Amino acid sequence: MTGLVNRHPWIPYVIPFVLFVVLTEVQRLVPGGAVWIYPTKAVLVVLALVALRRWLVPEGGASLPAAVGTGLVVLVLWILPEGLYPRLGAVAPFDPFQALPRGQAYLWIAVRLIGAAVIVPIVEEFFWRGFLIRWLVRADFRGVALGTFTWYSFLATSVLFAVEHDRWLVGLMAGVAYNLLYYRTRSLKACIVSHAVTNLGLGVYVLATAQWRFW
């Protein structure tokens, strides 16, 4: 594995993300897939992260005030414009209490919350701001210091982050916000924390309001 990663240093940053995205698309296509594909996806992605963990060390300090503040701003931006713009390929909301017995529903929710607040921030931030935003500056991305700014890498990652999400408008705003945090703090760790704050807050909002469409 070490020799392979030395030849292709993008592997630890890209493979977990690609696995996550592919399984997410499969989940969209399979009727009732959320019941079993999401937990399967979470397990497989965690296994990939564990296998590649020696190369996935977030650089930079946590910068907690900036990270938490950005995460909360993105949370508000994610919720407020709901219904004011068309979504990309939206799927029907999945209510676990309608699809599963109550005990299994709580277990599914726990897996979903861990996936959103822990797995997704690690996978996405290592890809978007650990790899792609630097690779777009120079192919030898490991030689690009965190926080290196170019208009091309900033705009491209913001737009692509938007396209990854069916809520493309708020996805764009989130991509811009996380990128600005990255430039300000020069810290991948801060981006992971911020993304985790957003996703955890959204999960709490979903559970408190039963607005399952956000999941």
Q: Confidence class of residue 70 from pLDDT cuts 50, 70 and 90?
A: very high
Which residues 6+ apart lie within 8 Å of 154 measured at CB? 133, 179, 183
Confirm whether 3 is domain-assigned. Answer: no
Provide mean pLDDT across the span 119-124: 98
Confirm whether 25 is domain-assigned. Answer: no
Confirm whether 5 is domain-assigned. Answer: no
Confirm whether 16 is domain-assigned. Answer: no
* 40, pLDDT greater than 90: yes
The total of structural domains in the chain comes to: 1
Lowest mean pLDDT among 22-31, 128-137, 178-187: 22-31
Q: Is the pTM of this model over 0.85?
A: yes
Q: Confidence class of residue 37 from pLDDT cuts 50, 70 and 90?
A: very high
Confirm whether 24 is domain-assigned. Answer: no
Residue-number span of the structural domain to which 168 is assigned: 59-214
Find the length of the chain: 215
* 2, pLDDT greater than 90: no
Confirm whether 79 is domain-assigned. Answer: yes
Confirm whether 164 is domain-assigned. Answer: yes
pLDDT in tens, 151-194: 999 999 999 999 999 999 999 999 999 999 999 999 999 999 99
pLDDT of residue 102: 96
Confirm whether 102 is domain-assigned. Answer: yes
CA–CA dist 192, 142 (Å, integer): 18
